[in-house]
Amino acid sequence: MPVGRGGAGLCVCGLECLDDALDLVEVSPGLDKRLRMMIKNSARFIRFHDGARVHGNDTDRTGLLMVLKGSLRAYLLSSSGRECTLFRVEEGECYALSCSRLLSLVTFDLFLDADGTTELLVVDSEVYNRVAVECLAAEAFAYRQAAMRFSDAMWVMEQVLFMRLEARVAAFLLDEVARRRRDSLSLTHDELARHIGSAREAVSRVLKQLDRRGVVLLSRGRVDVLDKRALRALVGV
């Protein structure tokens, strides 16, 4: 759930900060003053708690999202509640797949959750649509964002299709260690399974094997990575 508009140093910077944020969209050079004002007037700051649903089939909070702080996790969700993380939208990046212009092309449901306390600038979808109609750079930007995420998602798909579960667990742990810049991960077996779209029981089995081999050290709600070289060997890199 959003905890309100503005806050934590955001409301005080106002339009000036918004100008900086708009530069993230990279289309700024193509925007004339009027289009830029259209975007500015529609943009809202929203802060989300860790784990809050930012976008999905039960929310209407759509538009171009710019991550000012924190990050977003994009994942597929099955009707039975199984998940698979496809990619993350990190600080300073944009997410365009929740623009209605793209939603009309993209027929699958992608869910977005806040990963840690996350502050977003949301440009209203209809406003961005109107801007994109007048400014081809804005349109190309949104599609290009989608193409980049396609690439991320395909990397995950290749893992799901072609990698053994042990290698996928190893790849996930290496990614997380790099992303969080620490070898000690606060992570349950269930969370790990949801990230890689696998069953908890199977993931637990792999983790226990890695623990026995001294590659990781398991404790309650925590995985400590002890031997990155061994993990890299499992991934085959």
Residues near its own copies, by CB under 8 A: 30, 76, 78-80, 82, 84, 102, 105-108, 110, 136-137, 139-140, 143-144, 146-151, 153-158, 160-162, 197
Strands 94-95 and 63-77: antiparallel
Closest listed residue to residue 111, CA positions, set 133, 87, 136: 87
CA 178 to chain centre: 16
What's the min distance (Å) between Cβ of 16 and its own copies?
29
What's the min distance (Å) between Cβ of 46 and its own copies?
25
Strands 83-89 and 63-77: antiparallel
- Contact at 8 Å (CB) between 56 and 77? yes
- Beta carbon nearer to its own copies, 2 or 30: 30
- Contact at 8 Å (CB) between 2 and 51? no
- Beta carbon nearer to its own copies, 60 or 108: 108
- Beta carbon nearer to its own copies, 48 or 87: 87
Angle between helices 136-162 and 165-180 (to 10 degrees): 130
- Beta carbon nearer to its own copies, 11 or 136: 136
What's the min distance (Å) between Cβ of 84 and its own copies?
5
What's the min distance (Å) between Cβ of 163 and its own copies?
9
